[in-house]
Chain A
Amino acid sequence: MTGNHILASVFIHLFIAIFQLIAWRKTVTQRILSVGGALVGLIIAIVLFQQVYLHGTYTLNAANWAAPFGIVFAADLLSATMVLLTSIAGFAVSIFSSTGISRQRMLYGYFPIFHFLLMGLNGAFLTGDIFNLYVWFEVIIISSFVLMTLGGRKQQLEGAVKYMAMNILASMFFLTGIGILYGITGSLNMADLSTKIQEVENRSLVGITSVFFILGFGIKSAVFPLYFWLPSSYHTPPSAVAATFGGLLTKVGIYAMLRVNSLIFIPDDFTRKLLMTIAVLTILTGAFGALIKTSVRRLFSYLIVCHIGFMVGGIAMFTKVALIGTVFYLIHDIMVKTNMFLIAGLIRQLRGTMSMEKLGGLYREYPKISLLIAIVLFSLVGIPPLSGFWPKIYLFRESFSQHQYVYIAALITGSLATLYVIAKMWAEAFWKETPQGIAVEDQFAPLPVYRKILLVLPIGILGVVSVYIGINAETIIQVADRIANELIDTSSYIKAVLKN
């Protein structure tokens, strides 16, 4: 179905950013624009999701050039879900940023860049053209470079150099892959590629090309052995920025893997084994890395790596049940990981530090906030009936029937390690008495009430969404089931894009 409105969630963020640029250095106007605009974006995303859920895939031919010659944007259920999750996370981070970001950073254009980043994310999820996907990736990367370096502290620049070097490398691999793909098929439209790639006789060339894509997306989604840039850069920017990065940026890589693997390179035996090995090692290195970290944010960074492995494993199996698990985990992970970094930011506001040795006594002083955080931590660990629990059932079930016992072992190790580090963090930061001889600088208590609300509200919103995903798992599984069906049988997507 043709729907000229599907890019609305891209344009809304573009126009917010432009109006914020006009209101340069007027931070109050920018904050209002950001929160209000993100709310409008959220409503647009909900409407889009509802339409796609009811009526099927919508497509848009940019500049009215018919597919496969022009650039096509397609909103199938996976894209619409990702746009919706991005908008929820973006709305929450936007509220948190209005108090959690220093005025100095706002003066140098934090908010416009943040909205350019959201625009890039929404564009990447909606495009149906592989080169256009690369362009949106560049929009995302450039915005994230600026967000990462904004403020210019020495530590930040060090993190940004690692981040930039690895991401440029990933873009190079991705671009090389696109080049070869265009060379052997003569098309860039993903739906068109899907049919043309099957006619290529030189299968080994196709296999090599798929490795380029795995490398490119692998670096972006931080899988073993290409993950090291993530823990060494995500603890440096302000927490609101880290929340956007941790929640959304690595998941763009997973989304792209899902898209490319379902449409273009249907995983063969070699790719499956490669992805499975990567998944197992990613889970293990992430889990072991998290075990030894004492800073809350570094710990969360390693947990991102660990849980990316869960999803890569699901993609490696590439059966319907495994994909239901992967998509459900993706939905759960975006909400929870964004929230984790917001929580890290809140802890910093409450205590002035994020090192677990210096933290303590949070439960005694802030029981209500601690309980809210506890719910989020529980859903991260996957205590039933919260959101982390359900996708793992599907992943376990499918890996049993596929006899992937190493992956099961890794899943168990990863889950136990997550449980252990979260329990340790809870004990250290919340239950333990405040350590002797450490001056607590509580920046939270003297804040006016409305600012306190602005800091806690986004965590509450995302927490409620997490609880909803957990309690109402039936609905989410229906959505994930339909997405998995569309990923296995792509004919409806191809038909919608090519209109034949």
Chain B
Amino acid sequence: MRSIILQTATRYLLPILLLFSIFLLLRGHYYPGGGFVGGLVASIAFVLHSFTNGTDATMKLLGRKPLSLIPIGLGISAFSVILPLFFGLPPMTGLWVQEKFPLIGLIGSSLFFDIGVYLVVIGVVLTILFTISLTDD
């Protein structure tokens, strides 16, 4: 099914949704949001792209199998969990950079945990949905 309306809408929605997902990811520490919701919104963007242009086009856009995002995300999260150990603190302690970054605000190890979750969620959702849609072909 090719719909010109959906195609045009997707062209504008894809960057907006991705930006919104990163916005959700970054505000997640103190406000509603975080890696999980952000990951879901980002994967919706790619799902929308695959609806309009086909799964193969989305795969090309991603450049890699979504499955490979899972170990990367897990690795980032797990690393942020054990990072405090190197500073003599118990695992999972939040480590914060003292200076504020422009736009983002304070950066701490919990942000990297959220980034890991974000990648895992995208990986899982896209792997499931692409596996279902590819068997249809």
Interface residues, chain A, with chain B CB atoms under 8 Å away: 4-5, 7, 11, 14-15, 17-19, 21-22, 24, 60-64
Task: Indicate whether B58 reaches chain A with its CB closer than 8 angstroms.
Answer: no
Among B75, B82, B93, point to the contact of A63 (Cβ < 8 A): B93
Nearest-neighbor residue (CB-CB) of B91 within chain A: A7
Contacts of A4 in B (CB 8 A): 85, 88-91
**Chain A: minimal CB distance from B29 (Å):** 13
A63 and B68 alpha carbons, distance in the complex (Å): 29
Per-position binary interface string of chain B over residues 18-59, scored 1 when its CB falls under 8 Å from any chain A CB and 0 otherwise: 000000000000000000000000000000000000000000
B70 cross-chain contacts in A, Cβ below 8 A: 21
Known: A11-B82, A24-B67. A18 touches B93 (CB 8 A): no
Complex: how many Å from CA A496 to CA B85?
21
Question: Is A11 a contact partner of B78 (Cβ separation < 8 A)?
Answer: yes
Bound Cα distance A21, B83 (Å): 21
B100 nearest CB across to chain A (Å):
22
A63 engages B90 (CB within 8 Å): yes
Instruction: Provide the bound-state CA to CA distance between A21 and B124, in Å.
Output: 13
Q: Check B78 against A15 for contact (C-beta < 8 Å).
A: yes
By a CB distance below 8 angstroms, the chain A residues around B81 are: 11
Q: Name the residue of chain B whose CB is nearest to the CB of A21.
A: B71
B residues near A63, Cβ cutoff 8 Å = 90-94
In the complex, residue of chain A having the shortest beta-carbon distance to the beta carbon of B110: A63
B56-74 interface with A by 8 A CB criterion = 67-68, 70-72, 74
Q: Total number of A-B contacts with CB less than 8 angstroms? A: 44
Chain B residues near A18: list those with CB within 8 A. 71, 74-75, 78
User: CB-CB < 8 A to A62: which residues of B?
Assistant: 90-92
Count of interface residues, chain B, beta-carbon cutoff 8 Å: 19
Residue in A15, A21, A60 whose beta carbon sits within 8 Å of that of B91 in the complex: A60
State the Cβ distance, B112 to closest chain A Cβ, in Å.
Answer: 14
Q: Which of A21, A24, A60, A61 has the most chain B CB atoms inside 10 A of its CB?
A: A21
Partner among B71, B85, B88, B90 whose Cβ is within 8 Å of the Cβ of A22: B71
- Please give me the residue from chain B that is nearest to A24 by CB atom: B67
Cα distance A19–B89 in the bound complex, in angstroms? 25
B135 to chain A, nearest CB (A): 15
Q: Which residues of A contact B82 (CB under 8 A)?
A: 11
Q: How many Å from the CB of A159 to the closest CB on chain B?
A: 25
Contact A24 B68 (CB under 8 A): yes
Among residues of B, the one whose C-beta sits closest to the C-beta of A59 is B90
Q: From A25, which residue of chain B is reached at the shortest CB distance?
A: B67
Q: List 27 A-B contacts (CB under 8 A).
A: A4-B85, A4-B89, A4-B90, A7-B91, A11-B78, A11-B82, A11-B91, A14-B78, A17-B74, A18-B71, A18-B74, A18-B75, A21-B70, A21-B71, A21-B74, A22-B68, A22-B71, A22-B72, A22-B75, A24-B67, A24-B68, A24-B71, A62-B92, A63-B91, A63-B94, A64-B84, A64-B89
Chain B residues, Cβ within 8 Å of A7: 91
C-alpha gap A306/B84 in the complex (Å): 46
Task: Please name all residues of chain A whose beta carbon is closer than 8 Å to the beta carbon of B78 when the two chains form the complex.
Answer: 11, 14-15, 18
Q: How far is the CA of A291 from the CA of B47 in the complex (A)?
A: 56
Chain A CB within 10 A, most for which of B70, B89, B90, B94: B90
Q: How far is the CA of A18 from the CA of B119 in the complex (A)?
A: 14
Give every chain A residue within 8 A of B72 (Cβ-Cβ): 22
* Contact present for B75 and A61 (CB under 8 Å): no
Known: A11-B82, A64-B93. 13 other contacts (CB 8 A): A4-B88, A4-B91, A7-B91, A18-B71, A18-B74, A21-B74, A22-B68, A22-B72, A22-B75, A24-B68, A62-B92, A64-B89, A64-B90
Q: Which residues of B contact A64 (CB under 8 A)?
A: 84, 89-90, 93
Once the chains bind, are B90 and A60 in contact (CB under 8 Å)?
yes
Question: Once bound together, how far apart are the Cα atoms of A15 and B82, in whole Å?
Answer: 11
Closest 3 A/B residue pairs (Cβ): A21-B71, A63-B92, A64-B93
In Å, the complex CA distance between A18 and B91 comes to: 18
B93 surroundings in chain A (CB, below 8 A)? 63-64
CB-CB < 8 A to B94: which residues of A?
63
Minimal beta-carbon separation of A33 from chain B (angstroms): 12
State in angstroms the CA–CA spacing of A109 and B83 once bound together: 27
Q: Which residue of A lies closest to B75 (CB)?
A: A18
B93 to chain A, nearest CB (A): 4
